[in-house]
Amino acid sequence: MTLQRETSAGYMTNLVGRLFLRELERNLAPIGLTPAYMPVLLALEGGTALTQKALAARARVEQPTMTATLNRMERDGLIERRVNPDDGRSTLVSLTPAAVDKLPAVENVVTAINALVLEQMTVDERSQFFALLQKVASVLEAQEERAPWP
């Protein structure tokens, strides 16, 4: 059996994802962040406070992974935890002022990387690209709903 990497949706998506991740790592490091922090920053950027469970669900990661990420972010002074007034058994997570101060730099990094990637595409190609990605995501999300992770 000969697998053609260039025509494998999974391989090519994974390759592009890893390349995006490396570029993001390279550009976030100078501002003291890592790509693993991005889902939390995006979920909490508007001043929202969420439980760890809600953050894990939004980021589509397991609870232990979110715990480790939040522990690192707390160590780095980026998040704070406080008792949930609606449920004393859980905590609410929110961004610290230091994290909020970094958000404009994060936005600049993301904007620059997206511009770099999209600059070789026409307006129509960009529209088609995003529509196709959305279609792939929809298929995989539907599959996940039918057969959830154990």
Nearest to 109, CA basis, from 26, 19, 40, 36? 26
Locus of tokens 């809600």: 54
pTM over 0.85: no
Per domain, the residue ranges of the chain are: 9-105, 117-150
Q: Which of 77, 103, 76, 74 is nearest to 91 (CA)?
A: 74
Quickly tell me which residue has 């001043």 as its tokens: 47
Q: How many other C-beta atoms lie within 10 A of the C-beta of residue 88?
A: 8
HSE-CB for 75 with a 13 A CA cutoff: 9
The arithmetic mean of pLDDT across residues 44-60, rounded, is 91
Burial class of 60 by CB neighbour count within 10 A (0 to 12, 13 to 18, 19+): exposed
Q: Which comes out higher in pLDDT, residue 71 or 59?
A: 71
- At 75 the three-state DSSP class reads helix
Hey, how many other C-beta atoms are within 10 angstroms of the C-beta on 28? 21
State which CATH number among 3.40.605.10, 3.90.380.10, 1.10.10.10, 1.20.140.10 fits the domain covering 9-105: 1.10.10.10
pLDDT at 150: 60
Range 107-124 average pLDDT: 97
| pLDDT tens sequence across 6-48 | 889 999 999 999 999 999 999 999 999 999 999 999 999 989 8
